[in-house]
Chains A and B, each alone.
Chain A
Amino acid sequence: MVDAAARISPLDGRLFQDEGILVEPAVPAVRLALRAPSAARAALSKALGIDLSQRPKASAVHGARAALWLGPDEWLVIDEEGGDLMAACGTVTAFHSAVDVSHRNTALLVSGRRAADVLSAGCPQDLSRGAFPVGAASRTVFGKVEIVLWRTGEEAFRVECWRSFSDYVFMLFEAAARDA
Chain B
Amino acid sequence: MLLIHCPYCQEDRPELEFRHAGEAHIARPADMAALSDEDFERFFFIRSNPKGVVFERWRHMHGCARFFNAARDTVSDRFLKTYKAGEPKPDLGGEGR
Contact = CB atoms under 8 A, between A and B. Distances in A.
Interface of A: 56-57, 70-72, 74, 124-125, 138-141, 146
Interface residues of B, number: 14
Contacts of A124: 1, 14, 16-17
A56 B62 contact: no
Main secondary structure of the interface of B (DSSP, over half): loop
Contacts, number: 40
A56 B13 contact: no
A105 to B, nearest CB: 15
Interface of B: 1, 8-11, 13-14, 16-17, 62-66
A38 to B, nearest CB: 13
B62 A141 contact: yes
Given A140-B63, A146-B62, 19 more contacts: A56-B9, A56-B11, A56-B64, A57-B11, A70-B65, A71-B8, A71-B65, A71-B66, A72-B64, A124-B17, A125-B13, A138-B63, A139-B62, A139-B63, A139-B65, A140-B17, A141-B16, A141-B17, A141-B62
